[in-house]
Structure 1
Amino acid sequence: MKNKEQLFEKIKGKLIVSCQALPEEPLHSSYIMGRMAYAAMLGGACGIRANSVEDIREIKKTVSLPIIGIIKRVYEGSEVFITPTMEEIELLYQEGVDIIALDATDRIRPDGKTIHEIFPIIRKKYPDQIFMADCSTYEEGELAYELGFDCIGTTLSGYTSYTHGQKLPDVELIGRLKRDFELPIIAEGGIWSPEDLKAAFERGAHTAVVGSAITRPMEITKRFIQAIS
């Protein structure tokens, strides 16, 4: 897939900025996320990770960078909420995002299937789409590689019940995945400082996604408050 190789070369060794705000957050607004993404582009970002078709469309108005698209949706009875079903994948595919990221953990999905069962169906339906596996463990990364994902992210390390408390960023996981699998490894999760980012690249990350430390002022403020309380 020629375009895939070009895309991964374009983002290699660079920074992707995640521009997301959930409904309960003060900056929840497609317009604001569009401005966030534009600011990130001006600052030197090589790509944007965004949640929802509405935000992605707004971002595209002023930003010409590759987009990792997700749709966060909570379904009763499942812990999987990052692009959890075929419905969300279809919406992102129709929108034309460069990369679709989805939960690739070992957890049962809203449709009752595992990633092992559903991804072959997804890959067959969308053979030319680039897919990113949001993983939390080495074993999940290994399975994502075997299933035919195009890149592996450490996105969910520390955010599943069985990785809770994991020190972030999970540079050890980045290093192991890089060592064993010939796929771009995308560092994501818990990168709060330039030093964290540097550590991720030193372990072999192809690119890295930084979100909260750049685009979530409420969370940034809380960290400063904790330092003085």
Structure 2
Amino acid sequence: MSDKLISSLKNGLIVSCQALEEEPLYGAEMMVLMARAAEEGGAVAIRSNTPQDVAAIKKKSRLPVIGLYKKNYPGADVYITPTLREVSEILEAGADILAVDATRMARPDGIELEDFFRAIRERYPEAVILADISTFEEGVNAMELGADLVSTTMSGYTPYSPQHENPDVELVTRLSALGRVPVLAEGRIWTPEQCVACLNAGAHAVVVGTAITRPQEITRRFVQAMDGALQRSHN
């Protein structure tokens, strides 16, 4: 079943439908509409945050859902599905793939990533695990721990990973070249051309979020470009 699911993502676009509580489109109802629009546009899967959104999208969409649960804990830097409690809630909500942070940042209660993976496998042996990583070394480690897929989600979002304005195509290339598990390209992907570049680098599939589903950020990019052009013309 997991092989068939992972194969269905090949060369496809996964759309991340997420909104934080302080954002205009926050709420499961809005994310369901986003997911349905993405499905009509040809997406092969949806990436979704919170059990509520995952469950709602599963009811209205035929696409597989990559589920995660962003939760902040005191003294911890990891916030993407950080503990077994969030793992349980996301899987019980019906997520087809479980996304977890697999970086070396501090985890709640000081739990080691290896122990976290082991606990997931013991409790949910059939779970399909997607490891969100930020560096080549983290990607390799996640593969060794048994991740079914690896995604470059966190590249540029950890203090020690290279900071880029563009997608980390180099990281996609290096991890894909290993040929061990499918690699998803994610992070700062704004154009179809960048999606193609990621596929050419060996990505199994490409995840795009902000450029499709966060209109306030899309609008901001247009405004900044226009303001910048006006300032240059006046100099």
Could you tell me the TM-score, scaled by structure 2's length? 0.94
Which residue of 33, 36, 53 maps to 2:34?
36
- Once residues 130 and 169 of structure 2 are traced to their aligned partners in structure 1, the CA distance between those partners, rounded to angstroms, is 18
CA RMSD of aligned residues (A): 1.0
**1:176 is matched by which residue type in structure 2?**
R
Aligned to 2:92: 94
Alignment gaps of 5+ in structure 2 = 228-235
Once the two structures are TM-superposed, the CA of residue 160 in structure 1 deviates from its matched residue by: 0.5
Runs of 4 or more consecutive aligned structure 1 residues displaced over 6 Å after TM superposition: none
Is the partner of 1:11 in helix, strand or coil? coil
Q: CA deviation at 1:167?
A: 4.2
* Correspondence list, 1:35-114, <5 A: 35-114=33-112
Match of 2:200 in 1: 202
Moved more, 65-74 or 107-116: 107-116
Cα pair 1:85 1:111 within 8 Å, conserved: no
Give 3-state SS (helix, strand or coil) of 2:109's partner. Answer: coil
CA contact (8 A) 2:54 2:94 kept: no
Give the match for residue 231 of structure 2: none
Work out the CA distance in 1 between the residues paired with 2:133 and 2:76: 16
State the Cα distance separating 1:22 from its structure 2 match.
0.3
Q: Percent identity?
A: 49
Match of 2:232 in 1: none
1:11 alignment counterpart:
9
Q: Supply the AA of the counterpart residue of 2:95.
A: V
Shift of 1:168: 2.8
Match of 1:140 in 2: 138
Normalised TM-score (structure 1): 0.96
Does structure 2 retain, via aligned residues, the 8 Å contact 1:158–1:168? no
**Structure 1 portions without partners, runs of 5+:** none
3-state SS of 1:213 partner: helix
Counterpart CA distance in 2 for 1:114 and 1:134 is 16
